[in-house]
Amino acid sequence: MYFSTLLITNYYHEQTDLLLKSIIDSNINMNISIFYEKQNPYKVVKDLTYHIGNVGVDLKNINENREDIEIAAFTYKDAKYIRKEIQLNNEDLYFLYIYITVYSEDKKELEYILNKIEGIIQSKGMQLRRGYFRQEQTFKACLPFMKNSNDIKQVTKRNILTSGLVCTYPFISSSIFDEEGIFIGTNIYNNSLIFIDRYNQNKYKNANMCIFGTSGAGKSFYIKLLALRFRLLGIEQYIIDPDREYTKLCENLNGTLLKIGSSSTTYVNIFDIRKESLEEGEGGYLATKIPNLIGFFNLIFGSINEEEKAILEEKIIEVYKQKGITFDDKSLYKTEKNKVTIKPIFKETHDMPILEDFYNLLDKDEKTKIFKTKLIPFVKGSLKFFNQYTNVELNNKLIVADVYELGEENLKYGMFLFTTLFWDKIKKDRNIKKAIYLDEIWRLIGVTSNKEVASFIYKIFKTIRKYGGSGVAITQDISDLFSLENGAYGKSILNNSEIKTFFSLEEENIKLLSEYTNLSEKEKIEIKSLKRGECLMFVGDDHILTKIESSEEERKVIE
Residue 159 counted as domain residue: yes
Q: Which of 150, 168, 186 is the last residue of a domain?
A: 168
> Is 38 a residue whose pLDDT tops 80?
yes
- Do residues 195 and 182 lie in contact, with contact meaning Cβ atoms separated by under 8 Å? yes
Residue 199 counted as domain residue: no
Q: Collapse the DSSP code of 259 into the 3-class scheme (helix H, G, I; strand E, B; otherwise coil) and give the result.
A: strand
In angstroms, rounded to a whole number, what is the distance separating the alpha carbons of residues 198 and 179?
Answer: 11
> Is 144 a residue whose pLDDT tops 60?
yes
Confidence of residue 189 (pLDDT cuts 50, 70, 90): confident
Averaged pLDDT, 253-257: 94
In angstroms, rounded to a whole number, what is the distance separating the alpha carbons of residues 38 and 21?
Answer: 24
* Burial of 155 from C-beta contacts in 10 A (0-12 / 13-18 / 19+): middle
**CA-wise closest residue to 273 among 254, 301, 293, 256:** 293
Strands 469-475 and 434-439: parallel
> Is 244 a residue whose pLDDT tops 80?
yes
Which own/partner pairs from 323-329 qualify as long-range (CB within 8 Å, at least 24 positions apart)?
Answer: 323/351, 323/352, 323/353, 323/357, 324/351, 325/273, 325/286, 325/351, 325/352, 326/286, 327/284, 327/286, 327/287, 329/283, 329/284, 329/285
Q: What is the pLDDT of residue 65?
A: 58
Report the CATH number that the domain containing residue 293 is assigned in CATH: 1.10.8.730
- Do residues 523 and 513 lie in contact, with contact meaning Cβ atoms separated by under 8 Å? no
Q: Which of 339, 360, 390 is the last residue of a domain?
A: 390
Beta bridge partners of 544: 537
> Is 399 a residue whose pLDDT tops 60?
yes
Taking the CA atoms of residue 336, residue 338, residue 343 and residue 345 in that order, the dihedral angle to the nearest 10 degrees is -30
Residue type, 244: R
Beta bridge partners of 100: 6, 32
Measured in degrees and rounded to the nearest 5, phi and psi for residue 349 equal -60, -35
Measure Cα distances from 495 to 176, 446, 499 in Å: 21, 16, 10
* Together in a domain, 136 and 151: yes
CA angle centred on 133, ends 131 and 137, rounded to 5°: 65
> Is 281 a residue whose pLDDT tops 80?
no
Q: What is the pLDDT of residue 486?
A: 86
* Together in a domain, 107 and 220: no
Q: What is the pLDDT of residue 338?
A: 60
Residue 524 counted as domain residue: yes
* Together in a domain, 342 and 401: no
* Together in a domain, 260 and 277: no
* Together in a domain, 105 and 252: no
> Is 179 a residue whose pLDDT tops 90?
no
Helices (H), 323-397: 355-362, 369-379
DSSP letter for each residue of 33-57: EEEEEE--HHHHHHHHHHHHHHHHH
**CA-wise closest residue to 247 among 267, 229, 230, 227:** 227
Q: What is the pLDDT of residue 125?
A: 86
In angstroms, rounded to a whole number, what is the distance separating the alpha carbons of residues 45 and 72?
Answer: 19
- Do residues 477 and 446 lie in contact, with contact meaning Cβ atoms separated by under 8 Å? yes
Q: How many residues appear in the chain?
A: 559
Residue 183 counted as domain residue: no
Q: Which residue range(s) make up the domain with 280?
A: 273-390
> Is 532 a residue whose pLDDT tops 90?
yes
Lowest mean pLDDT among 177-186, 224-233, 339-348, 535-544: 339-348
Residue 19 counted as domain residue: yes
In angstroms, rounded to a whole number, what is the distance separating the alpha carbons of residues 402 and 266?
Answer: 10
**CA-wise closest residue to 455 among 299, 305, 312:** 299
- Do residues 82 and 93 lie in contact, with contact meaning Cβ atoms separated by under 8 Å? yes
Residue 174 counted as domain residue: no
What would you report as the CA-atom Rg of the chain, rounded to the nearest whole angstrom?
33
Task: Give me the number of domains the chain comprises.
Answer: 3
Give the largest CA-CA distance in the chain. Answer: 116
> Is 340 a residue whose pLDDT tops 70?
no
Report the CATH number that the domain containing residue 512 is assigned in CATH: 3.40.50.300
Residues sharing a CB contact under 8 Å with residue 248, sequence separation 6 or more, in sequence order: none
In angstroms, rounded to a whole number, what is the distance separating the alpha carbons of residues 270 and 264?
Answer: 16
* Burial of 240 from C-beta contacts in 10 A (0-12 / 13-18 / 19+): buried
Residue 508 zone, left/alpha/beta (φ > 0; ψ -120 to 50; rest): alpha
Residue 176 counted as domain residue: no
Taking the CA atoms of residue 211, residue 216, residue 220 and residue 222 in that order, the dihedral angle to the nearest 10 degrees is -70
* Together in a domain, 446 and 529: yes
Q: At what angle do helices 488-495 and 451-463 cross, to 10 degrees?
A: 10
* Together in a domain, 371 and 407: no
* Together in a domain, 79 and 126: yes
In angstroms, rounded to a whole number, what is the distance separating the alpha carbons of residues 175 and 542?
Answer: 8
* Together in a domain, 554 and 438: yes
In angstroms, rounded to a whole number, what is the distance separating the alpha carbons of residues 360 and 128?
Answer: 86
In angstroms, rounded to a whole number, what is the distance separating the alpha carbons of residues 276 and 103?
Answer: 60
In this structure, the number of other CB atoms found within 10 A of the CB of residue 277 comes to: 20
* Burial of 63 from C-beta contacts in 10 A (0-12 / 13-18 / 19+): exposed
Return the higher-pLDDT residue of 67 and 192: 192
Q: Which of 390, 412, 429 is the last residue of a domain?
A: 390
* Together in a domain, 227 and 82: no
Q: What is the pLDDT of residue 397?
A: 94
Confidence of residue 319 (pLDDT cuts 50, 70, 90): very high
Confidence of residue 67 (pLDDT cuts 50, 70, 90): low
* Together in a domain, 281 and 368: yes
In angstroms, rounded to a whole number, what is the distance separating the alpha carbons of residues 104 and 1?
Answer: 6
The mean of the pLDDT values for the chain is 89
DSSP conformation class of 323: T
Strands 236-241 and 398-402: parallel
Residue 126 counted as domain residue: yes
- Do residues 481 and 442 lie in contact, with contact meaning Cβ atoms separated by under 8 Å? yes
* Together in a domain, 246 and 376: no
